[in-house]
Structures are given as structure tokens and as C-alpha cells.
Amino acid sequence: MWCNLCSVRVCFLRATEVNKSFAMDFSGAMVWPIGCCYHRTPGSFLDPEMRAFLEENTEVSSSGHLTPEIRLRLLTPRCRFWQERADLWPYGDPFWAIYWPGGQALSRYILDNPDAVRTGSVLDLGSGCGATAIAAVMSGASQVLANDIDPIAGMAMVLNCELNNVKPFPILTKNIIDTELDNWDLIVLGDMFYDEQLANSLHPWLRKCSRTHGTKVLIGDPGRPQFLGHRIHGKLHKVVEYSLPESTRQENNGLTSSIVWSYQP
């Protein structure tokens, strides 16, 4: 089957749900969220079988996207599951195996403008492959948290951090939208406005984070209709627009550019 966000073939429907939320530090130790804190538990989370599965079914890519300096394990046409039967994939849809145009633009912007994150704290919400969190670390952010509700994304991010030799950062797989947050300097969201219900829950929460803590919010989006038609769009200021590489255009139904927006409630 095909992903409804782009034209990437997604053969992954049989979800063996991994329900438990967790956070990991880079060493693979589990870090459990308690309120706004993290409690570390010893032991390696990324077991060798899972590592082998992810390594076998992805390809290390550093071309075809906007940040060639970041290497990522992604699903490519050379991977078995690009064509394989959906019911053979044992997990939920692997959004983490695609580097979305919104995340690409955010990461490019952060790498080119390290002052946007340097010495500050950054929350990457809906981090997927983790590229934007990795860009924030590379640009000198003092504290980075990657958050994605898909636990497999968390595991893929561990591999992607290793690939890029970046300083460890925690990864949290609990849904934190609507929860009280710590005082983050910056929240970044790449391609998170693809679904109306998700957008409707994100908007008031981002407004609250912004008004309560003065948190800055940057959104990367290639102009998806769900985003352009959402009321948050009236509260955005365009920061920069990037032309997308050809392969990203092809995988995203011909979208040609991706924009970084600053949210100003």
C-alpha cells in the first residue's frame, strides 16, 4: 500500500503494537518519564535482534535530502520492505523510516543558523528519524529531547545518533501533547500538521507553551493542505523556504519546497 502523506510505498499495516511509553538515553538505558523528570533504569534497551532487524531493513542515506551532513537509516527502494507484502512487517507504519520535507527544512535551518538553538533547550516533537534533534545537537543546543509516540522510532533514533556520532540525548515515546511541559526554549515540529485532529490538539497546546513559558516554536511544512487550511496558519511568520531535492519531490506527490515557519500566537 502507499502512504497517504506521500507517494512512498508503505507495506506496513500489521501493527504488533508496542504500547509502553519509554525514553532512552543514548547508551540505550531506559529513561522513564515521571511527571516532567526522567528516571533512568539500567540495561540496554535496543536488543541485538531489534538492532539487526532495523539494520537489515533500512539503508544508510545521506543524499536525496536537504541535510547531506546527517546520515540516516531510511527505507529506500533497495530495502526489502519497499516492495514486500504489508502483512510481513511486524510493527506499525514506519514514519520514522522516511525523512519528511518538513523535518528536512527545519534541520537545514538549524544547521545553517546555529544561533537559533545554541546553548538553548530544544524539544523535537514528532521526531521520527530524529534528524532535527540531531541537527540541534550538532548546532550546540544545551539540552535536546526527542519525542515520538512510536517506540520503533525511538530505536531508529538510537541508531541514527550512533551513525552521526552526536552527543547523547533522551528519547521519549509518551504522548506529551496536552501535558504540562518544562520551560523549553524552542519546540520544533517537522511535518506534524498532516492530520486535522492532531493539528487541532497541537495548536492550543503550542499556544499555551508559548504564552506560559515564552517558548519559541518553529514548524517545518511543505504546504500540505491540512496545514495550509488550519487556523494556526494565520499565526505564522515565514522564516525561510527551501527548494526540495528531486527524490523528495517524487516521494511527496510533487511538492516542490518546504518552509520553516515561526509561530506567533
* Residue among 6 and 42 whose Cβ is closer to ligand SAM: 6
Taking CB under 6 A as the binding criterion, the range among 17-25, 63-71, 143-151, 257-265 that sits at the site for ligand SAM is 143-151
Torsion of CA 5, 200, 15, 190, to 10 degrees: 50
* Residue among 191 and 251 whose Cβ is closer to ligand SAM: 191
From the list 91, 95, 169, 193, which residue makes contact with ligand SAM (rule: CB under 6 A)? 95
From the list 11, 24, 102, 242, which residue makes contact with ligand SAM (rule: CB under 6 A)? 102
Q: With contacts defined by CB under 6 A, how many residues of the chain interact with ligand SAM?
A: 24
From the list 45, 89, 91, 96, which residue makes contact with ligand SAM (rule: CB under 6 A)? 96
Gap between the Cα atoms of 152 and 94, Å rounded: 8
Nearest distance, CB of residue 5 and ligand SAM, angstroms: 6
Q: Which residue has the cell 511527571?
A: 35
Gap between the Cα atoms of 141 and 155, Å rounded: 22
164 sits in the region (left: phi over 0; alpha: psi -120 to 50; else beta) called alpha
From the list 11, 30, 148, 215, which residue makes contact with ligand SAM (rule: CB under 6 A)? 148
216-221/72-74 β-pairing: unpaired
In angstroms, how far is CA 20 from the centroid of its own chain?
Answer: 19
Gap between the Cα atoms of 1 and 9, Å rounded: 6
Nearest distance, CB of residue 209 and ligand SAM, angstroms: 14
| Residue 97: all three cell numbers together | 523510516
Taking CB under 6 A as the binding criterion, the range among 19-27, 99-107, 135-143, 240-248 that sits at the site for ligand SAM is 99-107
Residue 114 is given by DSSP the state: G
Q: Taking CB under 6 A as the rule, does residue 129 contact ligand SAM?
A: yes
* Residue among 42 and 154 whose Cβ is closer to ligand SAM: 154
From the list 185, 191, 221, 251, which residue makes contact with ligand SAM (rule: CB under 6 A)? 191
Amino acid at 223: G
Q: Which of 227, 228, 146 is nearest to 187 (CA)?
A: 146
Kindly list the residues in this chain that would bind ligand SAM in the complex (CB under 6 A): 5, 95-96, 99-100, 102-103, 125-129, 147-150, 153, 175, 177, 190-192, 194, 198
